[in-house]
Structure 1
Amino acid sequence: MPLRVRLLITLTILSAVAATVLAARQPSHSWPQFGLLLVAVLLSSGLKVQLPKGDGSMSLNFPFILLAIMQLSPLQAIILAALSVVVLGRIKVKKFFTLVQTTFNVANSMCATAAASATYAFQIRHHGPPAPALAIAALVYFFCSTATVAMVIAWCKAERAIPFWRAEFPWYLPFYIVGAALAAIAQHVTANFGWATSLLLIPMVYTVYRSYQGQMNRIKEREQHYEQTEALHLRTIEGLAMAIEAKDQNTHDHLFRVRSYVNEIGVALQLSKLEMKALQTAAFLHDIGKLAVPEHILNKPGKLTPEEFEKVKIHPVVGAEILERVRFPYPVVPIVRSHHEWWNGTGYPDGLKGEDIPIGARILTVVDCFDALASDRPYRKSLPPDEAMAIVKKMAGIQFDPGVVAVLEQRYTLLKQQADTEHERNFIPLNTDIEVWRGEAPGAGFERSDDDLQTLSLSDNSDTAELDQTAAFASLNLIAAASQEAQTLYEMSQGLGGSLSLKETISVMASRMRRLIPFDCCALYLPAGETLVAQHIDGECAKSFAAEPIPMGEGISGWVAQSGKAILNGNATVEPTYRGKAGEPGELRSALSIPLYNLQRQLLGVLTLYAIEAESFSRDHLRILQAMESKLSLSLQNAIQFKRAEKDAETDFLTNLPNARRLFLQLESELERCRTVGQDLAVIVCDLNAFKEVNDRRGHLAGNMLLSSIADGFRRGCTNVDTVARMGGDEFVFLLPTMSAEGSEARLREIAETVTQVAHTLGFDTRVSASLGAAFYPADGESAEELLALADRRMYLDKQAHYKTLEGTTSEHRGKAFAA
């Protein structure tokens, strides 16, 4: 346990003792009433809300502690709080607290109760209203109880306390406010019907508990989804690292050692969580751009020529461009692009200098160099760690950040030992030096050897010249075909491996296959329930197919999907979606179809090739297609998963509208299109009035229902070229192509009426309305930032006008605000 944590715990315990001594000087109140509140606390002790992260939980006995603060003496309230913590530490816990943990939690609760009690008493003595006094006391209790807990947990994890508190605790503040309201209600009931009625607070607390527990469960589910997505990212990263290893035989040891180094140095430099994740990912992927550098350069056992070095220098840029498509939720790309920049500005590719270089890149470049010096390379042996560190230190202030070098110098011996140990324990390198002995011969037999050809030629001397010529041409054709097949398969693997776009993957697949298999139309079907849906149909005869799903088991593709077997030269006209007529030019007469499977051997799709000629496909074509199947399936699976993940990352989970990220991309795209074709574009910002009152009065679930219903209304009111997105909270943004300021009044009224009608339909307060602001391209600006900023300002003018006139805002007033 860190020293500062011990000091904080000691200070908290001493403060609790002092607060108890001071509270004991004041007279106690009714002990039977104290006993009743204690019973209420015990009955509510099982009502705990688990924290979304970690093993912590929050108790819902807070309203009873507030009641004790209002109705009992400070000493009685402190005792009640202490006893409640002791009981909570024994109910519904995964493991019992240690003595130190229990003592700290009790002392922390006593200090928070004493502070809240003193705050409430001070305001009442100065004739403050009870309700505000209770609310302020609740806030004091919240901050006092959570601040010390956040410091202890954060310091034990070597994190900063304030960012940790902001990440973990603010969403519990609404409960404390609700708890204060419940305590105020109970106090009012007690004043009129006696203190025994305080037990009526238990069902109200239980109702709040169930509502809040539901919210926490949803948060937990989102956290689990995020963790699963993050684990998928990690597995993808490790797979990419393996791909780099296959390209550069020196890379895999280097990557895992570098990752171990940067973890420790990042912690020592107190990087944030996002910075740490970006750094860990970049440690694996910083050399992914070497896939664009030929192997003979990477593995050259000597110095590089200037031309070869120019080729090597492209790898940070290529790596950044590759990773830019992945769209990591943390800044990996700048680190990868800048990991060869120098502190003095003489590095590449951008010539960044000093602290303009991302901190992750500064850490990575120091560690990268140190490990390269301390490792074997094709052109030299490894240096001892002390010599490698001396060289790195010599370049501090020139190539490297002096601060990072200083941290590495303090720890490099221990870090190298730790990195070597972790690497040996956790990483199994890719094994390419293998031989397979089983199998006597391939299915098509062996190619004839020179001896076989010689024996055959001598068996018939009369036809020697003709046989030699025929054999020569056959050999050349076989070699050419084999070479073309290998080259095409290699190019397909490269083309498919470099794409995460579903459309691009299918296009690359079709263009490469056409070199080896003659076909007139290519179709890819993906399963959707009990049907197949055409994801892609390409070729001269594509118009012969209708855009309809194919039932499983019907037609060629449906039968292949259901049976899991391939079809060679099937009758293309039996396809349910085929609309060609017999005897017409371009009628399809044959088909070659195979099933595609994912890694779990589940049906991924069906690939079907169609041809005009009858019996157009051979068994060799089927073999080639089946040889491609695993590569096609894996690339398609990655593209499909990436498409789904990309869609999720750009969609607001509550309303299913585009989120802010997607909005900005769409706005830039629309502006570019409008510049090209010379069209107008309207940007409308909509913010809901009185939405906070809905949350306060009806709860967040009701507020979420209102937002979702309004989003549905906005969606129904949009055309197929309009865009409506949720910016966050209760703010929406519309992008309306071809609309100018003159024609916008009717649409603005329609948006405002949609909000009012939805609120009325759901039975909410009629004060729920819309404040609107609009900006127009090109009249009001030409950039996304200008248009959004101006629309936002005009919306706030409209909101000010709304609140000045309360509920008397008219369409005419709103129109004036838009024109301001």
Structure 2
Amino acid sequence: MRWYDLSPACKRYLLAVYTLAVPLAALCLAGPNSYPTAWVLLTLISLFVATLNVRLPTISSVISMGDVFTILALMQFGPGPALVMYWLDMIAGHLSNVVRQAGIGGIGKIKAHKILFNLSCCALSVWAMNAVYHAAITSSLPYPSNIVVGLIGISLSWFLANTVPLSIAVSLWNNQTFWTVWREGRTLALLNFTGSAAAAGLISLFYTRGSFFIFLLSLPIVVVVYQLYRFYVERYEQAQSHISELSKLYLQTVEALSTAVDAKDRYTHGHSKRVQAYETELAKCMGVSNEDELLAIRAGGLLHDIGKIAIPEYILNKPTVLTETEFEKMKIHPGVGANMLSGIEFPFPVIPMVKSHHERWDGKGYPEGLKGEEIPLNARILSLVDCYDALTTHRPYRSPMARAEVTEFFKRESDRAYDPTIVKAFLDNLERIEAAGKADSLRERDIWGIKEVETSRTTNVRKLESVQPAVAYGKALSASPEMQRELYSVFEFARAEFQCLTPKEVFSFMGSKLEKLVRFDAAVFFLADLRQAEIVAEHVVGSASQDLLGLSLELEQKLTGWVAANNQSLCNLPPFPDFLKCSGPRPAFELSAIAPINRHGEVLGAISLYRTERTKFTEEEFRRLEIIASQTAIVLARCNRSETPLLLDSLTGLPNAFQLYLMFEQIAMDASRYQYPLTLLAIGLDDIAGVRRRWGRMSGDEAVRALANSLSKEIRETDLLVRYTDDEFMLLTPKISREQAETLKSRLQDEFDHFRFPARSDREIHLRASIGIAVYPEDGVELESLLSASEWQMREDRELRSAVGSRVKAVPVPKRLSES
């Protein structure tokens, strides 16, 4: 962590340690010290050994063999040489560790405040060890008891002077308690310091009674011990890695089971993972720290609803309150889940959590009616956070509760549904628990350290036209003659080739028919707005439909929004969820029948019928509603099929045949009134079909578009150029006689003969056109007559041009020309 990222308290603490270390280091360096050659050689050996730090496999600490030489230097040469050696060892060990992990480039990333802190701790440790050791050897204890006491004092003082300041710093850096940090690895650290002190005492004895070179004989023993321990640590880490992979595979299987449940219940998607996050954080708030217990809580959070696999989907996805029979079926899922998991030998208690997470503190829960402390603690925690997630997430029948409502709810249910101790811990740490759940939903799916691959969710949409058996629809259609006539008119309306109907016009017609087919007090036709993810009431019918026009509902929410999004009808349900957000008085409807307006998976809207009394819709009425909805979907889908204006050609942007028919009568009437000629030219592309076969559909379309642009440049503003068919244009030209039209025809064909279209970057193709002429009124006074005459002339022109072209190819080339 960088210096400016540290908290103010941590910065003040580091500065205090730096300040305290300066005079203590000065005292060590000013004491009775000596720096002989033996100290220099010992320092060099210590530097080499300091680079061989042994990493402990279970904690984030290392054991340095250089500690032995620091104590030895303190005993033989004084606190000053020991401090200098300790500083050099610490720097060498830190640098070697950084280079080993990150290469030479990692040296530039070393944090200066961390190095200074470690150097300061060195000064504190050496000063404390020297003070304790000097007090022991100058005491009245006989030799060698004073040496033993001194070494014990060194190990204890070094342990405290080293671990206490470091633990305080780490707790401030990581926002943890001092005890949590200090107790990690404290036993091994104490053993390390004690062993180092004992080894230093033995080496000091050799050094005092022998010589420095006799001391060197101990170095091979040290190296052998180090290599053996390193070999053991590597084998241990390999075994741990294998265990970790097996555990990851196991936990991945657990998560796959949880995902299967979430996929089945669309409204609780992600529920299990959020519950896992809430439950784990609440357990930590209650002081649970054992790793096996936390693993059990995580696994239980994921698997608590595994029994829902046995519950029918229509119950899981029902957007309203369950009936008594449906609720009885839902209540079996804890027992089913426990039975499903009973064959798995979990390394921690998961099955009791799954089985008892719907038990209540007062004994009124299920499946066994356990009470109070009879319910496992983890199940009690799970029960509370399971309810919390349900209250704070969207459901089709209600919106999420605000925090104040949630708090009030759990206070009310404390000592009734939930353990009061757990409720208190939950409410006291609600912000922390909410943050844990939010962090879990925002980060990538990596709960167990396994990255989840996101896959696009496929919708299981059934087509409205085939959801029910033929018998049910047969009964709906076998009605009175009057109703059969109404249904037949609906069928004819849906099959008619209307091109410009608006949704409101479609709804108005279907609403008028629906009134004669089904009894209701209000009918609302909703149109989907997929950009806003909502449906809006575009048309209403019925005596009680006041104030319903314009009502908007979110897709997937309430009743009608759920029906539209899921393409599934609902019948005879209380409709109050549709009106929860009404600003005025809510309508007093008792029952509803709702059918989706969907076509081939496209969400178009829904039709909702409401009744003010509790008389249920009959099966036949419901089927007629579905028939109206399906036929409405057909018409709306046709109206939405194209956004191109109806009187323009979508490929060229020219007027289409409809415009020609609409405008001809007016133009012909004007020509007759003012006695001027009116000519119609039929322009046919000779081989556009061949271009499409050889070069593809897109190339053919580009060729037609290019010719249209070329033609548009050759005509007057008063002329009407129309794309009549796929390969034919019509040009209606006022005030042009037949002779002038022949001249125009020759000019246009000459332009076409020189026209080249780039079908490919390296290939151009020739496009030719045949033209026929018809003149009003000589060739006819009706448009059909003129069209027939001009097209006949066009075919004659095409045959003539084809014959001339064939004869030209058949004429032999003169020999003289061929030789030249």
Scaled by the length of structure 1, the TM-score of the pair is 0.47
Bigger radius of gyration, 1 or 2? Answer: 2
Scaled by the length of structure 2, the TM-score of the pair is 0.47
